[in-house]
């Protein structure tokens, strides 16, 4: 059958969507990139972390059904956990798969036969034990691979639905994830990104995150290991030692979702650190690991955020080693503590204004970071390019473009002289 897979959301959703595709391809299904009337099954791997993400997922579902009213629709992911009953009303041929069932999608697709369309909710209680899932080998994969190693979270921040939608923190079987990584490296993967909801708390028997990095480092063909977003107080000294070691494949890059520069707001958010602790940690990492890339997430307009609280967040971004920030508007989410707070949500116009200020500051910090790279020679992992140029990333996540040549550079490592700061990326020249 022809199957169309559409995913929304984070790196974890990207990893899970890749697994869904590989599973379906291993069963002989044909994955198509465009939705039309020849598609038999459409899969939407959804996101519900913000109101905007939820709206985009619903829009995608409407577009799919509009393109093919007879398609068998499967909705999985976090929105399937949050609003399963509502999603049943979007299409008469729909199956809702909760997060505990998505890894079995191949079984459900195999059950689709002619006019026998499912119309039920498959939503089991989310498990609490560690997990594993089959590793499928399909076509060669020459992109950065998001390797899922962890699921769920125990932190219960006041603004977040993820513990409800993905359950408590649990880790992937060590041997299972190592098999998955090895298989994909054999298929052509050069860089693996360790992915999960809260990867810093990984624990499988005696194996922690540092042990995972150590095992991946021993895969000879693998060139790079990268951490996805990781919580501030979950990175121990062993991991920083790995990052500082030039012989280790763990790249010099950390994305730490600090969320606010105000101690008062961090307390309301139920975060597990204060601003001084976050600043000190950033400074220590910056001093210990030369040329490290440091980024963060900042939420704007949390209930009760004053102009002074916002100014503290702006100060954290401007006057710390951070090189950029992903800026998010606070989103009212049902069943969160934040939604019940007596403090008022900030007017949208003010949130937009503050977000614009933060994004402008982030762009300037990133421009300064890129300027510091000019003149250096760095190793770049190239991605799929166009006729005129090839893009890629340095270890510390500076985006680089080089002029195209007669050689296909995709998925190749190359030494590049960083020549010109173009504001959001660096123009480079291949060396040697």
Q: What is the pLDDT of residues 80-90, one digit of tens each?
A: 999 899 999 99
**Where does the pLDDT of residue 96 fall: very low under 50, low under 70, confident under 90, or very high at 90 and above?**
very high
Distances (CA, A) of 430 to 381, 394, 412: 12, 13, 12
Which whole number is the average pLDDT over 60-81? 95
Q: Where are the alpha helices (DSSP H) in 295-379?
A: 307-318, 348-373
Token reading at 392: 């890629």
pLDDT of residue 235: 94
Say how far apart CA 239 and CA 82 lie, in whole Å.
35
Q: What predicted TM-score, i.e. pTM, was given to this entire model? A: 0.94
User: Mean pLDDT for the chain?
Assistant: 93
Q: Which residue has the higher pLDDT, 223 or 387?
A: 223
Q: Where are the alpha helices (DSSP H) in 160-262?
A: 162-166, 174-186, 209-217, 237-244
- Coil, strand, or helix at residue 57? helix
Which whole number is the average pLDDT over 4-25? 94
In percent, the amount of the chain with pLDDT more than 90 equals 83
CATH of domain 252-368: 3.30.750.200
**Is it true that domain 377-430 has CATH number 3.40.50?**
no
Say how far apart CA 365 and CA 287 lie, in whole Å.
18
pLDDT at 115 over 60: no
**Where does the pLDDT of residue 412 fall: very low under 50, low under 70, confident under 90, or very high at 90 and above?**
very high
Q: Mean pLDDT lowest for which of 238-242, 255-259, 311-315, 387-391?
A: 387-391
Q: What is the pLDDT of residues 168-204, one digit of tens each?
A: 999 999 999 999 999 999 999 999 999 999 999 999 9
Which whole number is the average pLDDT over 21-36? 94
CB 221 within 8 A of CB 174: no
159 Cα distance to chain centroid: 18
Which whole number is the average pLDDT over 400-414? 87
pLDDT of residue 67: 96
pLDDT at 114 over 60: no
pLDDT of residue 113: 61
Same topology between domain 128-251 and domain 252-368: yes
pLDDT of residue 120: 72
Residue ranges of E strands in 196-281: 203-204, 207-208, 224-227, 253-259
Query: Architecture of domain 128-251 in CATH?
Result: 2-Layer Sandwich (3.30)
- Domain residue ranges of the chain, discontinuous segments joined by +: 2-122, 128-251, 252-368, 377-430
CB 163 within 8 A of CB 187: no
227 contacts: CB under 8 Å, gap ≥ 6: 193, 194, 199, 250, 253, 254, 255
Query: Residue 72: beta bridge partners?
Result: 41
pLDDT of residue 118: 63
Say how far apart CA 402 and CA 53 lie, in whole Å.
34
Q: What is the pLDDT of residues 264-310, one digit of tens each?
A: 999 999 999 999 999 999 999 999 998 999 999 999 999 999 999 99
Q: Which residue has the higher pLDDT, 403 or 171?
A: 171
pLDDT of residue 407: 81
pLDDT at 124 over 80: no
pLDDT of residue 177: 97
pLDDT of residue 111: 80
pLDDT of residue 342: 86
The residue with tokens 């399909």 is: 138
**Is it true that domain 2-122 has CATH number 3.40.50.11540?**
no
pLDDT at 400 over 90: yes
CB 169 within 8 A of CB 152: yes
**Where does the pLDDT of residue 228 fall: very low under 50, low under 70, confident under 90, or very high at 90 and above?**
very high
pLDDT at 387 over 90: no
Q: Mean pLDDT lowest for which of 120-134, 296-310, 323-337, 357-371?
A: 120-134
Question: How deeply is 431 buried, as exposed, middle or buried, from its count of CB atoms within 10 A (0-12, 13-18, 19+)?
Answer: exposed
Q: Which residue has the higher pLDDT, 365 or 290?
A: 365
């Amino acid at each position: 059958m022809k199957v169309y897979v559409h995913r929304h959301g984070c790196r974890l959703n990207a990893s899970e969507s890749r697994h869904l595709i590989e599973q379906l391809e291993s069963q002989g299904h044909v994955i198509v990139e465009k939705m039309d009337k020849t598609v038999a099954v459409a899969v939407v791997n959804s996101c519900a972390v913000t109101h905007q993400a939820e709206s985009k997922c619903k829009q995608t579902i409407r577009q799919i059904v509009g393109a093919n009213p007879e398609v068998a629709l499967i909705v999985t992911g976090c929105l399937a956990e949050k609003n399963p009953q509502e999603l049943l009303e979007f299409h008469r041929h729909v199956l809702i798969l909760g997060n505990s069932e998505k890894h079995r999608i191949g079984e459900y697709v195999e059950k689709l036969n002619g006019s026998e369309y499912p119309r039920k909710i498959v939503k089991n209680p989310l498990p609490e034990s560690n997990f594993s899932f089959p590793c499928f080998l399909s076509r060669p994969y020459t992109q950065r691979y998001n390797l899922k190693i962890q699921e769920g979270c125990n932190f219960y921040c006041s603004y977040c639905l993820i513990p409800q939608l993905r359950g408590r923190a649990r880790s992937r079987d060590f041997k299972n994830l190592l098999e998955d990584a090895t298989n994909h490296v054999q298929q052509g993967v050069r860089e693996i990104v360790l992915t999960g909801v809260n990867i810093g708390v990984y624990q499988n028997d005696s194996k922690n995150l540092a042990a995972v990095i150590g095992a991946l480092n021993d895969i000879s063909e693998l060139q790079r290991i990268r951490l996805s977003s990781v919580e501030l107080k979950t990175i121990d000294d062993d991991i920083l030692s790995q990052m500082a070691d030039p012989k280790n494949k763990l790249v010099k890059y950390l994305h730490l979702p600090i969320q606010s520069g105000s101690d008062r707001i961090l307390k309301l958010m139920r975060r597990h650190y204060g601003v001084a602790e976050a600043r000190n940690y950033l400074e220590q990492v910056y001093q210990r690991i030369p040329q490290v890339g440091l980024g963060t997430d900042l939420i704007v307009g949390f209930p009760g955020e004053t102009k002074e609280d916002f100014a503290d967040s702006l100060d954290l971004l401007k006057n710390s080693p951070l090189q950029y920030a992903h800026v998010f508007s606070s989103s009212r989410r049902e069943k969160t503590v934040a939604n019940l707070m007596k403090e008022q949500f900030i007017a949208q116009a003010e949130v937009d204004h503050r977000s614009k200020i933060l994004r402008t500051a982030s762009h300037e910090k990133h421009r300064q970071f890129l300027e510091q790279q000019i003149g250096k020679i760095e190793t770049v992992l190239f991605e799929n390019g166009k006729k005129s140029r090839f893009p890629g990333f340095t270890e510390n996540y500076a985006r680089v473009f080089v002029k195209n040549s007669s050689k296909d550079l995709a998925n190749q490592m190359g030494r590049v002289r960083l020549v010109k700061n173009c504001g959001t990326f660096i123009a480079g020249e291949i060396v040697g």
